[in-house]
Amino acid sequence: MRGEGFEQDGCSPTGTAPVPVGECTLEAGRETLFRGRNSQGKERSRGPVTLSHTVPLRAADGHFVEAVLYERIDTEYAQQADTDWRAYLAVEKARAMTEGREIPRFEHSHWEWEAKVKASAHLLSFPTLAIECAGQTQGLMLLQTDGYFCRLPSDTGKPMVYVVYLATAPWNLRALIGHPRYAGVGFVFLHAAIQMSIDNGFKGRIGLHSLPQAEAFYEKHGFLCLGADPEKEGLKYYELTPQAAHEFIIGSTS
């Protein structure tokens, strides 16, 4: 995903074939700043566009199902996810009220993915990835694949992929319904972020700011904490070294 409009192993992000996604249409040849044009101003023909991957998730009944991971979504897709997630939360809140239960507050349910994607979709180094299953968005992740550098002493100054935002659909949160519909969204996304880092030549280095409820997860899976970051609302900042990234994804290809 490095660079704008550069050719790369047959999965150029600037192709022209529309990729159907449920009822939405993903314009693979989105209006990026740098559409592939030759000096005569003609559209250059690109190879087939591979923007999606089949990934596993675990359904509530314990069975594993096939889901689709999209490498890049557009504003329309993000808007639909916002709508679905908000509608679900509204219903759950109303139900909790009538049952007299307390409902935890989920800050990231108000994250306005549509606005985030709208602001960044024209930049190839800011892809928003989505995992879709059973016709609905199970999670969204916005990455920064350029211009972010390691802070760990062992890798200081080396380029990395930064996970700007990562969220699972509200129906996949244990705290909200007790029985998440799908498990695995977090693992699959982090694997994808590591893969993006490897593909960019960053050796799997990734970094992120964790929300408090996820700190234990990151620490268990090899992320190193570099302390609370005053520039990011005091959230703890974590990095994954190339070694830890390798261990995270080891055995993922059957």
Partner 1 sequence: MKLQICQEWLERKLQQSDDAEVTAGGTSLEKFKRDLQQRTVTPTTLAQVPTELGQVVRFVREQRGWTTSELASLADVDEADIEAIETQKAYDPTPRTVGQLADACQFSRARFIELAKHRVESFSANDSIIRYAAKSKGTASISDDQYELIRALVEALSQR
How near is the Cβ of 90 to partner 1 at its closest, in Å?
20
CA distance 145 to 125: 5
How near is the Cβ of 211 to partner 1 at its closest, in Å?
4
Q: Does 45 bind partner 1 (CB under 8 A)?
A: no
CA distance 210 to 216: 10
Q: Does 6 bind partner 1 (CB under 8 A)?
A: yes
Q: Quick one: 95 or 110, whose CB is closer to partner 1?
A: 110
Q: Where are the beta strands (DSSP E) in 6-110?
A: 19-21, 24-26, 52-59, 64-70
Q: Which of 210, 239, 241, 242 binds partner 1 (CB under 8 A)?
A: 210
Instruction: Kindly indicate which of the ranges 19-27, 92-100, 228-236, 239-247 contains the residues binding partner 1, using the contact rule CB under 8 A.
Output: 228-236
Q: Quick one: 98 or 169, whose CB is closer to partner 1?
A: 169
Q: How far is CA 19 from CA 51, 101, 123, 252, in A?
A: 8, 42, 19, 26
Instruction: Kindly indicate which of the ranges 14-22, 78-86, 94-102, 216-224 contains the residues binding partner 1, using the contact rule CB under 8 A.
Output: 216-224
Q: Does 85 bind partner 1 (CB under 8 A)?
A: no
CA distance 183 to 56: 9
Q: How far is CA 191 from CA 38, 75, 212, in A?
A: 35, 24, 21
Give, rounded to a whole angstrom, the gap between the first and last alpha carbons of the chain: 25
Q: Quick one: 97 or 148, whose CB is closer to partner 1?
A: 148
Q: Does 242 bind partner 1 (CB under 8 A)?
A: no
Let me know: does 67 contact 138? Beta carbons within 8 Å: yes
Instruction: Kindly indicate which of the ranges 19-27, 54-62, 80-88, 92-100 contains the residues binding partner 1, using the contact rule CB under 8 A.
Output: 54-62
Q: Does 125 bind partner 1 (CB under 8 A)?
A: yes
Q: Does 180 bind partner 1 (CB under 8 A)?
A: yes
Q: Which of 185, 204, 240, 242 binds partner 1 (CB under 8 A)?
A: 185
DSSP 8-class letter at 37: B
Could you tell me the two tokens for 1? 């995903």
Residues 15-44 that bind partner 1 (CB under 8 A): 33-34, 37-39, 41
How near is the Cβ of 186 to partner 1 at its closest, in Å?
3
CA distance 117 to 128: 7
